[in-house]
Amino acid sequence: MKEYRTGCISVIQNNGRTEGKGPMFLSEAAVAKVQRIHRGYPDYHETPLRRLDAMAENLGLKAFFVKDESQRFGLNAFKGLGGLYALTMVICRELGLDVEKIRFSDLKWAEYRETVQKMVFVTATDGNHGKGVAWAAGQLGCEAHVYMPIGSSELRAQAIRDINPKAEVIITKTGYDDTVRYAAEVAEKRGWILIQDTSWEGYEDIPAWIVQGYTTMAEEACRQMEEQGLVPTHVFLQAGVGAMAGGVTGYLANRYEDRRPAIGVVEPENMACIYQSALMGDGEAHEAVNQAPTIMAGLNCGEPCKITWPILRDFADWYFKCQDYISAYGMRLLAAPQGADPKVVSGESGAVTTGLVNLVAGKEEYEDIKKLLKLGPDSVVLCISTEGDTDPVHYRKIVYEGKNPMPQQA
């Protein structure tokens, strides 16, 4: 497929976009049971949908919304949605329980305790997913082993230890994709249960539950917008392995069918596996080329999730890759809002979509991409700030000290 490059943004338009309904496992009926589990969790609250009218006006858009996932389950990121649901499903399967009749807290009952507490969970993570798994396991008194790729922040590792005293957290000497393979090997060898947010041949059930888990966030956002009399015309989704972006895209295709919003998938310049897969145009998933570290730790993944790549291939409209400073730009815009807009604390992986839309719609040199995206006075844009300041030291460096500046300011 053809790629366009303007300034620091590369974009591919999807020529093979499919109309109609998304995959069955993300249908509204299929995900209703996910929402039941999440809503049944005692500390469940919908996360706020922030409306930034001054930003929208500045960009010449009808409305600009940011779903603020820093508020999710007290975990500072959306990922607990997947961990909580996947653990519930795994345990229900092991114990022969009907997930339609159970709440997560029922799994603490004395009759299940002995079996549940023997289960040991393991995962690989850049931080947020592992924190979600360790948190859900900790609620049930279970052990969790969490492997993080080389270069991971010690602060993020400690945050996971703090959330579950029975969590062992190790920073490995390899990158994200090899750390995932290592976690899978350890699980196999020790008989632990791998709760991974990406999939490969033969490992599909658990990732599918995780992907379904993310749809609660999409359902909330759509409903919260509709309560204000608006439906999204454009949704921008950041991708690491693409599990979140694929889950939300599939959900939107099912909810809105032929009226679904245009969807842009956004990745870091040097960790763009979804972009690379789209570029190759053979329908297959491909690894990112020229892989290099990014400040967007949650998006630092070189291999697509196999169950969500086909959704992104068929239902997304555009694929983007972005330099790190676009995310830093988004973080600052959300930290220091204009007019009466609310402040959103958004981390490196959370803010990239806001940064991208502000560049494209707000800067003259990106006029051609703005036209390609048909962004204008009727556009209702949704971005998801998938995390807050999960690395608070780095957050301050960017927001207060101007790290990763826009090139003309450097």
Ligand X SMILES: Cc1ncc(COP(=O)(O)O)c(C=O)c1O
Site residues for ligand X per CB under 6 A: 77, 79, 126, 128-129, 197, 238-245, 298-299, 301, 349-350, 386-387
Q: Do 14 and 1 form a contact (C-beta atoms < 8 A)?
A: yes
173 is catalytic: no
Which member of 126, 177, 197, 391 is catalytic? 126
126 is catalytic: yes
Whole-number minimum distance, CB 391 to ligand X, in Å?
11
Distance of alpha carbon 185 from alpha carbon 190, whole angstroms: 9
Please choose, from the candidates 75, 24, 73, the residue with its C-alpha nearest in 3D space to the C-alpha of residue 44.
73
Q: What is the Cβ-side half-sphere exposure of residue 216, based on CA atoms within 13 angstroms?
A: 27
Q: Which is nearer to ligand X, 77 or 333 (CB)?
A: 77
Which member of 67, 79, 306, 370 is catalytic? 79
Structure tokens at 170: 């190790």
Whole-number minimum distance, CB 374 to ligand X, in Å?
25
Q: Which is nearer to ligand X, 133 or 137 (CB)?
A: 133
Concatenated DSSP letters for 55-113?
A: HHHHHT-SEEEEEEGGGGGGTTBTTHHHHHHHHHHHHHHHHT--GGG--GGGGGSHHHH
Which residue matches tokens 């359902």?
219
Whole-number minimum distance, CB 343 to ligand X, in Å?
18
Distance of alpha carbon 95 from alpha carbon 359, whole angstroms: 51
Q: Which is nearer to ligand X, 271 or 359 (CB)?
A: 271
Q: Do 355 and 331 form a contact (C-beta atoms < 8 A)?
A: yes
Q: Which is nearer to ligand X, 184 or 231 (CB)?
A: 184
Q: Do 196 and 123 form a contact (C-beta atoms < 8 A)?
A: yes
Whole-number minimum distance, CB 197 to ligand X, in Å?
6
Whole-number minimum distance, CB 283 to ligand X, in Å?
19
Concatenated DSSP letters for 351-377?
A: SHHHHHHHHHHH-GGGHHHHHHTT-ST
Backbone phi, psi, residue 11, to 5°: -140, 145
Between strands 9-13 and 120-124, the pairing is unpaired
Burial class from Cβ neighbours inside 10 Å (0-12, 13-18, 19+) for residue 126 reads buried
Q: Do 166 and 144 form a contact (C-beta atoms < 8 A)?
A: yes
Q: Which is nearer to ligand X, 128 or 153 (CB)?
A: 128
Residue 127: DSSP 8-state: S
C-alpha dihedral, 398 to 400 to 403 to 405, nearest 10°:
100
Whole-number minimum distance, CB 338 to ligand X, in Å?
24
Whole-number minimum distance, CB 79 to ligand X, in Å?
6
Q: Do 325 and 407 form a contact (C-beta atoms < 8 A)?
A: yes
Q: Which is nearer to ligand X, 102 or 350 (CB)?
A: 350
Q: Which long-range contacts (CB under 8 A, 24 or more apart) does 162-168 make?
A: 163/75, 163/131, 163/134, 163/135, 163/138, 164/134, 164/135, 164/137, 164/138, 165/138, 166/137, 166/138, 166/141, 166/142, 167/134, 167/137, 167/138, 167/143, 168/143, 168/144
Q: Which is nearer to ligand X, 132 or 232 (CB)?
A: 132
Backbone phi, psi, residue 187, to 5°: -60, -45
Q: Which is nearer to ligand X, 22 or 298 (CB)?
A: 298
Whole-number minimum distance, CB 274 to ligand X, in Å?
8
Residue nearest to ligand X (CB): 298
Which are the catalytic amino acids? Answer: 79, 126
